[in-house]
Structure 1
Amino acid sequence: MPLYSQCLPTPVGSLTLIANDSHLCAVLWEHDHAARVPLGEWVPTGEHPVLQATAAQLAEYFAGARRRFDLPLAFNGTPFQRQVWAALLAIPFGETRSYRQVAEYIGNPLAVRAVGAANGRNPISIIAPCHRVVGSSGALTGFAGGLGAKQWLLGHECPQGPLFQ
């Protein structure tokens, strides 16, 4: 199955959007690993409806006019990874959660490290807000787009500082 791609300039750098015929599969950072997306040939296009909707919603997000995304998503990963990525979608705009809180949310409180690993392999950055997951002290931790981008995204969502719940 072919995958369709589109590059999108944003305030946090160039993102590559990847979709299959009907769903968004990935939002990749400039120096991201291609292993985050399903195998397949990427066909560059600007005419794909899912990519167009994703670009429009990301533009609204970066302009401060969107807090939630409404896109068809296709997460490619293990059942555990998909469970963690679904938990990311439940973190409200302007709030953060620790890896431990995400592990508790999915009913597996001892899986803190596994949650961290799954969070790090999130293929749909920003849309599935892995940037909202921080260390237990509230400290910023690793991020595929770099800590500067993570800090920018959190500051964009909550200029007075993100809520740590």
Structure 2
Amino acid sequence: MSIGYWSTLDTAIGPFTAVVAGDGAVLASGWTGEVGELTPLISPSLLPGEVKHRRDLGPVTTAIREYHAGELDAVDEIEVRQRSGEFRERAWDVLRTVPAGKPVSYAGYAELAGNPAAVRAAASACARNAAALFVPCHRVVRTGGALGNFRWGVNAKRWLLDHETPRA
């Protein structure tokens, strides 16, 4: 039976919980203090048989702290593991290349993911993303700049985008 681990940290926008595989790859994460909100988001093929609390998840915990403290690229090299269809997995990989401070529209995201006509599928990839922050779905906005939806709330999305906006 595989074992995963979870930890919750306090951040400027509330508790942030991450669930990792035994090797440390992020399986799910988001702004919640309830691990039970995250485990259903993990693909059944990746879900550990048991998920245990651990105060510190090593590089993942460090990256979460550093990102919220202003080191915006701290999460970039953390391994993430998600499973779904081919388009969605590609879209998640592409999303990790969208730089902080440079949000894209859903249409632009669909184009980056290789199918400009797949705007709804791109939006669905954002909605089904289990690894918030590490796969930065908050960086996708509506055409014209409106925020759009976010699993962890529009206020959290606004904070994240403001946090990533370069200061003059």
Q: TM-score, normalised by structure 1?
A: 0.87
The question of whether the paired residues in 1 share the 8 Å contact of 2:19 and 2:38 is answered with no
Q: Which amino acid aligns with 1:18?
A: V
The letter for the 1-side match of 2:73 is: R
- The residue type equivalent to 2:116 in the other structure is P
Shift of 1:68: 4.3
User: CA contact under 8 A between 2:103 and 2:141: conserved in structure 1?
Assistant: yes
How large is the RMSD of aligned CA atoms in angstroms?
1.9
> Aligned match of 1:63 in 64, 69, 83?
69
Q: Is contact 1:75–1:123 with CA below 8 Å preserved after alignment?
A: yes
Structure 1: segments with no counterpart, 5+ residues: none
| Structure 1 Cα separation of the partners of residues 71 and 112 of structure 2 | 28
Matched, 1:34 2:36: no
- Structure 2 distance, partners of 1:99, 1:14, is 27
| Paired residue total | 158
Identity %: 33
CA drift at 1:65: 2.7
Distance 1:33 1:19, change over 3 A: closer
- 8 A Cα contact 1:68 1:93, kept in partner: no
Aligned-partner Cα distance in 2 for 1:95–1:120: 20
Matched, 1:84 2:91: yes
Alignment match, 1:134: 141
Alignment TM-score, normalising by the size of structure 2? 0.86
* Residues 1:120 and 2:127 aligned together: yes
How big is the shift at 1:159? 5.4
Q: Give, in whole Å, the separation in 1 of the partners of 2:40 and 2:85.
A: 13
Report deviation, 1:7: 1.1
> Any idea what SS the aligned residue of 1:6 has?
strand
Structure 2: any 5+ residue segments left out of the alignment? none
